[in-house]
Every structure is written in C-alpha cells, then in structure tokens.
A and B are shown apart, each in its own frame.
Chain A
Amino acid sequence: MIKAVMVMNTQGKSRLAKFYEYLSVEKQQELIRGVFSVLCSRAENVSNFIDAESIFGLDSRLVYKHFATLYFVFVFDSSENELAVLDLIQVFVETLDKCFQNVCELDIVFNYSKIHTILDEMVFGGQVVETSSSEIMKAVEEISKCFLSPFLLSCVKMHVDDVRLEAASNAISLIPKSASGWRSRYFRLVML
C-alpha cells in the first residue's frame, strides 16, 4: 500500500502532501522535513530508492524522482515494487504535463485542488487504481467540465468576481515571469 505522496521543491517547501493514513499536522511536517533532509543530501546519479524505516517506521520504502525544482516522493510498504512505483511517479508527472502543458512548479502550487484530483484518480485509498495517463486525463477533464457548466452560469451573475477572474488570469502570466522565474524552469521529462 502507498502510505504517502509528497511533492516538495528543492528548498524543502512542500507543494503537495497526501498521507493515506491519518497523521497529525505536526507529524506530517516532521516527516516532510525528515524526507527532505535525506533527499537534499543525495548525490546525482544515485538510485531513486531510499530506506525510509528511520523516518516512517518499519516496512517502509521511499522512491523519489527529481524533476527540475521538484522532488516527487512516494512512500509505500513491501506490497509494492520499487521500480513499479518509480514508473508510477513517471505516470503522475506525465499526466501533470499533459494537463498543464509543460508543467512547472507554479502550476502545482496554483492548482492545488486539481493536483489532488489527478492523484485521487491514480491512487485510491493507498492502492494504485489507474496507471494510464490518458485515462486519468479523461476522468479529470470530465470532472472539470462538469464543474464549468453549472458553475460558470452562477459566476456570470457575480460581476465582481468576473472582473477578478480576468485580473487573476492576467496575473497568472505576469507574476511568475517577473518574479521568481519558476515558470522558466520546466520539468525535463524523461520519457521511458
């Protein structure tokens, strides 16, 4: 079973954290910090597996993959296969890439709930349920379509918000370019 999925950037800021067993907020933070401290000490070109027993307790393994500014981390137990989980990360990132066209760190931050939706389509209650990125895309699109129709109607009535919508979408393109340049650091997806 998969115990946790985390996405964090190379500075240790967590971008996504999902634990399939309930943990208190403090515990989650502690684990995230623990994982990061291990990750950032790892050299390039070493294996993607880490013995996570010292962080997560018995029978836990950790597989991570480093894309540009982000680490994608899956923690799981002996009922999963390390290489397979590595491919699962690949599927996850491929799906994100399809969703956001050249996904970057900012997309993940700003589309927090959508990332969760994608993940929920892949991993359900700690079990892998879907490994085809096109299937996942289909499901996610269906959900957002469903959202758009009735919801936009209600939006139209809210002028103020409409204005904001516009402002926000402008902001989207502006902020990253000017500010931190995250946007320029696209993931280099290694296709397998």
Chain B
Amino acid sequence: MGSQGGFYQSKEFLDLVKSIGEARSKAEEDRIVLSEIETLKRRISEPDIPKRKMKEYIIRLVYVEMLGHDASFGYIHAVKMTHDDILLVKRTGYLAVTLFLNEDHDLIILIVNTIQKDLKSDNYLVVCAALNAVCKLINEETIPAVLPQIVELLAHPKEAVRKKAIMALHRFYQKSPSSVSHLVSNFCKVGLPIYLIPFQCFNLFVSILKQVAERRLPKAYDYHQMPAPFIQIKLLKILALLGSGDKQASENMYTVVGDIFRKCDSSSNIGNAVLYECICCVSSIYPNPKLLESSADAISRFLKSDSHNLKYMGIDALGRLIKISPEIAEQHQLAVIDCLEDPDDTLKRKTFELLYKMTKSTNVEVIVDRMIDYMISINDNHYKTEIASRCVELAEQFAPSNQWFIQTMNKVFEHAGDLVNIKVAHNLMRLIAEGFGEDDDTADSQLRSSAVESYLHILGEPKLPSVFLQVICWVLGEYGTADGKYSASYITGKLCDVAEAYSNDETVKAYAVTALMKIYAFEIAAGRKVDMLPECHSLMEEFLASHSTDLQQRAYELQAVIGLDAHAVESIMPSDASCEDIEVDKALSFLNGYIQEFEAYELPKQTVQVRIPPASLASTELVPVPEPMYPRESYQTTTVPSVSSDAASTELKLRLDGVQKKWGRQTHFPSTSTSNSTSQKTVNGITQVDGSNTANSRTRETYDSRKQVEISPEKQKLAASLFGGPSKTEKKSATGHKSSKPSSHMVKSHAPKSSMEVASEKTSPVQQPLDLLDFGEPTVKSTVPSLDPFKDLEGLLEPTTQVSSAVNHSSTAAVTKSPDIMGLYTETPAGAHHKDSDILSGLSNPPMTNMVGGTITMQVAQSSKGPNLKDSLEKDALVRQMGVTPSSQNPNLFKDLLG
C-alpha cells in the first residue's frame, strides 16, 4: 500500500503540516496553529459535513492538540464520531477521544454506551477499537459496565481480541485491583497469567519459561532468532520476585535460568536483554554459586563491549550482584573507572550509583571526591540534589576524619548550595555538636575548632547559599569562642558582617542574631565584660524595629541576656549544651493521663489500663523500667529525686520519653529515664550561656555516658534515619545510670533544636526559629508546646506573661521580666517540684495544647493515688495551671504536626 493507503488526508491538511514544518519560530507556528483552530471551529460546526471531511477535521484537531493548543471545542465531535458505522471513522473517533479525554472527563459517560455496543460487535476490528478505548477511558466506576463483556471476549476466536481483552483486564487491575480479583482463575485458564496470579502458580511460570527456552513455541514468536524474548524477560522478572528470599522456590528455577544463560545469543540486543534479566533474577533469588559465576561472566562481557548500552547494563547488573558477592567488583575495577571517565552522562550516573553502593570506609574519600567533582560540573538540579545528598550520606557514614568530613560538607554546601535539603544542614550541626561519639572529647573539640576555622575562612567568599550560612552562624555561635583561639569581638564582627551582607535573608539573620546572643552569653558567664561592637549595636537597633517578629524577638532576647548577671545567664544558656537530649514523646503518652482523667468520670476502672504506657513522662534519671506494666511505681521513686536535684541546680527540665510509642497504643515504652536531666540544659541551646558548674558537670556526665552506650554512632545514625529509631537498643541502653541515653538516637537529631525551642519558650513566647525546629524529622516539631496555654499562664505569672506575649514588646519589660520567669521556675519551693517537672514536660511535649501539661501531672499523681473523681478534678485544675506553654508560633507547628 502506498503511503496514503486508507488514511487519506486532504490538501488543506498537507498545507497545514507543511507550513508548520517550515515555520521559523515558535511564534510563527503558534500563529499558524491558532488560525487553523479558528478555521476548524468554524467548519466543524457546519451542518451536514461529509464523514470523510469530519474525520479529517478530527485528525487535524488531534494534531493541533499535539502541538500544545487547546482543542476542547472539538471533543464532542470526536465523541460523536465514535458512534459512526464506518470502521475507520469510528476508529478515528476512538483515537481522538483516547488522546483528548481522561477517564474522569464529563463526556466519558456518552462513550461508555458506544463501547458496550462495540464490544459486542461481530467485526473483530470494531471490538479491538473499543478495547483500545476501554484501556484509556474506563475508570473505576465504569469498570463494572464493561467487565462482563470483556471477560466474554477472553474466549473470542480471534487471537488479537483475546490478547487485547486480557490486557484490558490487566489495566483494570492496575486501576482497581478489587474490581477483577474474582477473575483470577480465568486467567489461569487463558494461559496468560500475569501479575494477577498468586504464589501457587510459581511452577507454572517455571514451566512456561522452560518451554520458551526449549523453543517449543511456534516460530511466529521468534524475534531475531530468539524464542519469544519479551516473554522470557517478563517471566524472569516474575521469577525474580517470587524467588527472592525463598530458597526452595529458587532451587526450582536454577536449571532453567542456567539454561537460558547458556542459550542466550549475546551478539544481539535482545539476547543481551534476556541475559541482563537473568542476572537480575540471579541477584534477587537465593544465591547459587554456579549461576553467580555465569552472571559474572556475562557482566564482564557487557563491560568489555564497545557499546555504551551494554556497558550501562553491565554497570547496572554489577550494582545488583555486588550485594551478594562484593568481590566481583574488583575484577572490573578498570572497566568501572573507564565508565566513570566516559563522556556519556547516563553511563556516568549509573557508575556513580554503583560506586555509591560499594562505598566502604576505605574508599569513601575517593568516591566522594569524584562525586563532588561531578556534582560541580552538572547543571541538572534534580540530579545535583540527589548526588549532594548521597555525598552527605556517605560522608556521614564513612568519614575517615573530622577534618575531611567538615571539608567535604563545606564543598557540598558551597556548590550544591540551596539545593541541599535543610535537614542535611541540621544533621551537620548535630554532628558537629555531638562529635563522632566514639572519640574522646578532645577529638570532638578538635572537630569543632576545625569547623570554626574553616567557616571563618569560607565566610570571606561571596554569595554563600543560605543553608550553609545558617550552619556557619550556628557553629560560630556555639563554638566560635570555645577554644579560646578567637576573641568574642572577632567572631561577633564576622557574624555582624554576615547579617549585613545577606540582609535580605531573614533566616540567616535570625541565625546570626542568635549566634551573637550565644557568644555574648558565654562571655558574660565567663565573667568577662561585654562590649558590643558598634556595628552590632546598629544591627540590633535595626532588628528591634524589624518587621519580622522573629527577628525582633531574637533581638529583644539578646538585649535581655546582655543585661543579666553571670549567674542568670549561665543557667539560661549553659555552653555546649546543644546536644543534650530532649526526649520527644511521639506517642503522646502524656495525654494518657488526660484521657484517663476523662474516663475517670465515666469508666473509672479502665483508667488504669490507659495509664500504663505513659512511662517516661515524669521520669528523669530513672532506672530503666523493665516492664511497661509497672511504670507508675518507678516514676514515683525516680521522679522525686530528680526533681529535687533540678530545683537545686536551678534548672528546668524537659522530658519526653517514649518517643516511639503511638499514643493510645500500649506498647512497651519503658525507656523512661534517660536523658531527662540533660535535656534541660539543652533547653537553653538557643539562648545559651555558659552553664553553671552544676549544669555543666551534669551535662558532661550525661554526654559521656551517652557515648559509652553508643556503638558506632554512624551506623546507628544511619539506622535511625532509615528505620526511625530502633526500639531494642533503647531498652538495652536504658539500664545505664542516669542519662544513659536510650532514646538518644532517635531523638538526637532533634535534640539541639528542640532544646533551643524550649528554652526560648520559657523566656519568651514569641520566639523564633521555626527553621531551627526542623532539625530532624518533622516530628520534632512536636516538642514545641502548642496552642495557647498562654492565658493560663497569665493567671500564674501575671506581669511576665505580658512581656512574653509576642505583642507587647517593650524592650525594658522583656529585659526585666524574662529573668523573673526564670526566677519563678527556679525558686519554686520543694513542694512545687512536682509542678516544675510537669511544666517542663508540658513544654517539651508535643503540641496537644494545654491538656498536655495537665495530663502529665495527672499521671504522676494518679499513679500513686489512683483515679478518683476529686483527685482528678484537682489535678485537672493543677494541670491547667501548669500547662502553660507560651508560644506564638505554635499554631503553625500544630498545623504541621497534624497535617
């Protein structure tokens, strides 16, 4: 048949195509198409258009839409066309609607009827056309309308129809598995079992594959002398899925897979495709040495080939096999290096993927350096982001030295800039704060000094990405003066420069102000006199009048801190407390008390059960509670001492334990104890000032002990990030003395930040750092107390509250008042200890609003007294009082948390 065949088109259409083809610019093309649309609009609505003309118009519409213009005015005509009797016209109609409409379009309803009719047609070509449309246009709701007919078609005499019918069913399965689940047995009968069949059919697949491999299929299935290669590929994919992790099933397929390995013709494309699929299959099923050997052979053939496609497949296959037999990569080192040097981007990326998989602590430096070089050279943001995060991941995991780690991170930040996920930055801060855990403190402080040094150096460069600047500011604030190498005025000068240079980036400015505050606080705490630099003064003035409440708040805080005496400052901001833990009770177990209280009115007996999980809340340095069932007693004992110690040290505590538990579910959550004592200090993270002796010593203690507990923190970190925190480890570690930090891994990431939050909250509600908050996972946010307990607070601390409220920012008030708040907390008499701890827990707990604080108290108290109406009422009242958690930004957080 000639090129026109039965698909004739008129001269007009040819002209259109020709003129579009010759259009010199997009604008010219658009003009032509628009005028074409006008013509079509006019013509298509004329009465009595001959069918053939109409068909051509529709084709032209499709063409116009392919060029990116709206042809919706003609949809209805396309739909009408599907009703036509003439096959080709009908087909054109179907073609147009499948291209134009989606399955939820309003016009579909008009087509379903036609499809139903056509599926019953005697002409199998009509049936095929209808099936074609079914695939694209039938949605979940309309499936039942056509399903019976399609099932009937499975027995159609024409092979082409059966084939299409089964594919249509497959499509239905993709759209809505339940709609065709009852048909599974039919598929077995038809003999074309694809994904719908459960596991029993495993043997069937093996035997089909065997038949195919032994060339028992008709010749018609051959493709380039391969027997039905596409089917082989599919079957191998299925076997790989079914055999993974199943030794017995895997053994059943060894022979046939081995057979295919031998028979594959590695000179043709398709032969190699099958070979590659075999390798994938071998790497996913239970390993067999012989097959692994053939796979390795095939891979080396791929890698040695000149074709980039085969090299690509080889690298990919290598990446799969390497999981099972890591040694095979060594034979191919050179080939891999070649691929890495190759100008072909696709191949290069694949190779990086392979390298990523085979990174060890021995080769991490080389690999990461390579990755960074490549990252610098590309423009594709998507891939840049990906490779940056991989670099970071590898660096964290395998870093041979602190120095190297810091340098690597610097490079990543410098070049990938703001593409880097903010979490990466938070991770980096955390790492710098925590050190690598295994090492002693000197190593950690070296790490910090080298970080400070490199950052001071980098600050000289223009145009740093915002995320990186945040890290720099934080580190400078936290550790800039720690080793005594740089004077406070030098560091503060640098920070002021940053705030000025990036004056349009509020986040960076906020970080800078907070860093300034820390530096000054440390200075004050160390007993030195603080002289604010002039530029710092002017900066503060600017910020005090800033439109950003966050900046304003921070500036006021800074002012307030500077006005304090050494003792006060030191308890607000102990130095190096950023990595103390704040336990986050993800399970919201602190709410249990509330529930219980609530239930106390109706079902007093059940309350007991409800309470069980709360664990942790009151805790502090408790002895680990072995069984969740008894948490109450343990609390009591433990709580008391801890509280008193707190009071003594004038610290505020936060405690959130039981991070893992889901609220209401009573899984084990004994982790209790742990880091409470520490967490408080952390609290001050943001506003930090060097700590008092007590605070410091405590911090140290906890810090050290934590280290002991941690085995290879990198791994744990990874595990934590992957699996969200292993509960087992926690339990184990919980045994240690106080502050053995069980949940530390989980919480760690959040720790610095959340602690800051809390601290700032105490002093002043308006506060800051939303960004900070996000340290680890979103859950962290939960740490922030929410809603507006503020009012309750007012009753308690009248004057203070006002100050703290975001609205009233009179600077003086802030200055004087915030200390008051502190005083209030710290001076609470012994009797009030309970309250204190409650408040804290309230603060630290996820934002369940006021109830939070309340619940906690309830728990503690009730555990001893048992649920009783009067008690609970009292407690409730108490709770309300204590549940004070001033916070302005909380609503947002709350929203974040609850989606």
Chain B 239-275 interface 0/1 with A at a Cβ cutoff of 8 Å (1 = within): 0000000000000000000000000000011101100
Q: Name which residue of chain B comes closest to A55, CB basis.
A: B382
Contact A125 B171, beta carbon cutoff 8 Å: yes
Tell me the complex Cα distance, A107–B9, Å: 12
Mask of A36-56 contacts with B, CB within 8 angstroms, 1/0: 000000110111111101100
Q: Shortest beta-carbon distance, B231 to chain A, in Å?
A: 10
The reply to whether the CB of B723 lies closer than 8 angstroms to some CB of chain A is no
Within 457-515 of B, Cβ neighbours of A (below 8 Å) are at none
Partner of B164, one of A16, A124, A154: A124
Closest to B310 in A: A83
Whether A49 lies near B11 (C-beta < 8 A) is: no
CA of A48 to CA of B344 in the docked complex: distance in angstroms?
10
Contact A164 B10 (CB under 8 A): yes
Near B by CB (< 8 A), chain A positions 12-43 give 13-14, 16-18, 20, 22, 25-26, 28-29, 42-43
Are A82 and B309 neighbours in the complex by a CB distance under 8 Å?
A: yes
A141 within 8 Å of B (CB atoms): yes
Contact residues in A for B307 (Cβ distance below 8 Å): 47
Distance between B636 CB and nearest chain A CB, rounded to angstroms = 51
Q: Is A145 an interface residue (CB 8 A)?
A: yes
A81 adjacent to B277 (CB under 8 Å): yes
Q: Do A147 and B6 form a contact, CB below 8 Å, given A127-B170, A172-B14?
A: yes
A125 contact set on B, CB distance < 8 A: 135-136, 167-168, 170-171
Q: How distant is the Cα of A43 from the Cα of B349 in the complex, in angstroms?
A: 16
Cβ-neighbour of B160 out of A81, A117, A139, A141 (below 8 A): A139
Residue of B at shortest CB range from A154? Answer: B51
Complex Cα–Cα for A51 and B53 (A):
43
Q: Which residues in A have their C-beta under 8 angstroms from that of B51?
A: 154
Could you tell me the distance in whole angstroms from the C-beta of B754 to the nearest C-beta in chain A? 31
A135 proximal to B (CB < 8 A): yes
Contact B3 A151 (CB under 8 A): no
Residues A129 and B167 in contact in the complex (CB < 8 Å), given A143-B125, A192-B268: yes
- B732 located at the interface, meaning its Cβ lies under 8 Å from any Cβ of chain A in the complex: no
Chain A residue, CB-CB nearest to B385: A54
**A87 and B273 contact, CB distance less than 8 A:** yes
When chains A and B are docked, how far (Å) is the Cα of A130 from the Cα of B231? Answer: 11
Interface bin, chain A: 35 or more
Query: Is B59 part of the contact surface with A, judged by Cβ < 8 Å?
Result: yes
Query: A101 touches which one: B3, B268, B313 (CB < 8 A)?
Result: B3
Tell me whether B1 and A99 are in contact (CB under 8 A). Answer: yes
Q: CA A150 – CA B20 in complex, angstroms? A: 33
B65 within 8 A of A: yes
In the complex, how many angstroms separate the beta carbon of A31 from the nearest chain B beta carbon?
Answer: 11
Pair B53/A161 contact, Cβ less than 8 Å = yes
Interface presence of A189 (CB below 8 A):
no
Bound complex: CA A141 to CA B312 (Å):
38
- Rounded to whole Å, the gap between the CB of A119 and the closest CB of chain B is 10
In the complex, the answer to whether B347 meets A148 with C-beta atoms within 8 Å is no
| Chain A CB within 8 A of B99 CB | yes
- Does B106 reach chain A (CB closer than 8 Å)? no
Q: Which residues of A contact B99 (CB under 8 A)?
A: 18
Instruction: Say yes or no: is B157 at the interface (Cβ < 8 Å to chain A).
Output: no
Known contacts: A46-B346, A48-B309, A165-B8. The answer to whether A146 contacts B14 by CB under 8 A is no
Chain B residues with Cβ under 8 A from A135's Cβ?
220
- Pick the contact of B50: A43, A158, A165, A179 (CB < 8 A): A158
CA distance A186 to B797 in the complex (A): 87
Min C-beta distance of A18 to chain B, whole Å: 7
Tell whether, in the assembled complex, residue A124 and residue B132 are in contact, meaning their CB atoms are under 8 Å apart: yes
Interface centre among A26, A114, A182 (most CB of B within 10 A): A114
Question: Is B21 at the interface (CB under 8 A from chain A)?
Answer: yes
Contact of B3 among A48, A54, A116, A172 (CB under 8 A): A172
Select one of A46, A164, A180 contacting B11, CB under 8 A.
Answer: A164
Chain A, residue nearest B66 (CB)? A17
- Closest chain B residue, CB of each to CB of A22: B102
Interface residues of B in 73-115 (CB under 8 A from A): 86-89, 91-92, 95, 99, 101-103
If A127-B170, A192-B224, A192-B269 touch, whether A83 touches B313 (CB-CB below 8 Å) is: yes
CA distance A80 to B745 in the complex (A): 40
| B277-321 to A contact mask, C-beta < 8 Å, 1/0 | 100000000000000000000000000000111011100000000
Q: Is the CB of A113 within 8 A of B59?
A: yes
Scan residues 114-157 of chain A and give those whose CB is less than 8 A from a CB of chain B: 114, 116-117, 120, 124-132, 135, 139, 141-148, 150-151, 154-155
Taking a contact as CB atoms under 8 Å apart, the answer to whether A84 and B229 are in contact is: yes
A11's nearest neighbour on chain B, judged by CB, is B21
Which residue in B17, B132, B170, B312 is a CB contact (below 8 Å) of A110?
Answer: B17
- CB proximity of A175 to chain B, nearest CB, Å: 6
CA distance A110 to B17 in the complex (A): 7
Report yes or no: B311 in contact with A47, Cβ–Cβ below 8 A: yes
Q: Report whether A168 and B382 are in contact in the complex, using a CB–CB cutoff of 8 Å.
A: no
A168 and B101 alpha carbons, distance in the complex (Å): 31
Interface residues of B in 97-156 (CB under 8 A from A): 99, 101-103, 123, 125, 131-132, 135-136
> Quick check: A124 and B309 within 8 Å, CB to CB?
no
Least CB distance, A144 to chain B, in whole angstroms: 3
Q: Helix, strand, loop or mixed for chain B's interface? A: helix
B442 within 8 A of A: no
**How long is the Cα–Cα vector from A100 to B223 in the complex, in angstroms?**
22
B568 at the interface (CB under 8 A from A): no
Q: How far is the CB of B257 from chain A (nearest CB, A)?
A: 16
Asked if A184 lies at the interface with its beta carbon under 8 angstroms from chain B, I say no
Chain A residues in 8 Å Cβ range of B131: 124
User: Please, how many angstroms separate the alpha-carbon atoms of A182 and B22 in the complex?
Assistant: 11
> CB < 8 Å: which of A16, A101, A147 contacts B87?
A147
Measured between beta carbons, the chain B residues less than 8 angstroms from A172 are 3-4, 14
B192 CB to closest chain A CB, in angstroms? 11
Is the CB of B52 closer than 8 A to any CB of chain A? yes
Q: How far is the CA of A83 from the CA of B349 in the complex (A)?
A: 18
Which B residues lie within 8 Å of A47 (CB)?
307-309, 311-312, 344, 346-347
**Cβ of B18 under 8 Å from chain A:** yes
Which one, B89, B102, B343, contacts A46 given CB within 8 A?
B343
Q: A171–B14 contact, CB under 8 A?
A: yes
A93 close to chain B: CB less than 8 A? no
Chain B, residues 347-376, CB within 8 Å of chain A (1/0): the string is: 101100000000000000000000000000
Q: Given A49-B312, A147-B6, A22 and B171 touching (CB < 8 A)?
A: no
Contact call B88/A79, Cβ cutoff below 8 A? no
CB distance from B177 to the nearest CB of A (A): 15
CA distance A192 to B234 in the complex (A): 22
Q: Would A83 and B273 be within 8 Å (CB), given that A99-B1, A124-B132 are in contact? A: yes
Within 8 A of A (CB), among B1-60: 1, 3-11, 13-14, 17-18, 20-22, 29, 50-53, 59
Contact A120 B269 (CB under 8 A): no
Say which residue of A84, A99, A132, A161 sits within 8 Å of B233 (CB atoms).
A84
A86 CB–B CB distance under 8 Å: yes
Q: Which residues of B contact A168 (CB under 8 A)?
A: 8-11, 14
What's the minimum C-beta distance from B183 to chain A, rounded to whole angstroms?
Answer: 16
Q: 14 more A-B contacts (CB under 8 A) besides A87-B229, A99-B3, A114-B7?
A: A25-B69, A49-B346, A81-B277, A82-B309, A83-B313, A99-B5, A101-B3, A110-B9, A111-B3, A120-B132, A124-B131, A143-B6, A192-B269, A192-B270
7 nearest A-B pairs in the assembled complex, by CB-CB distance: A144-B6, A54-B382, A125-B135, A22-B102, A83-B273, A47-B308, A147-B88
A-B contact pairs, 21 of them (CB 8 A): A16-B66, A20-B136, A46-B308, A48-B308, A50-B346, A79-B237, A83-B270, A83-B313, A87-B273, A101-B3, A111-B7, A113-B92, A113-B95, A127-B167, A143-B88, A154-B86, A158-B50, A168-B9, A171-B11, A172-B3, A192-B224
Residues of B within 8 A of A (CB): 1, 3-11, 13-14, 17-18, 20-22, 29, 50-53, 59, 62-63, 65-70, 86-89, 91-92, 95, 99, 101-103, 123, 125, 131-132, 135-136, 160, 163-164, 167-168, 170-171, 174, 220, 223-224, 229-230, 233, 237, 268-270, 272-273, 276-277, 307-309, 311-313, 343-347, 349-350, 380-383
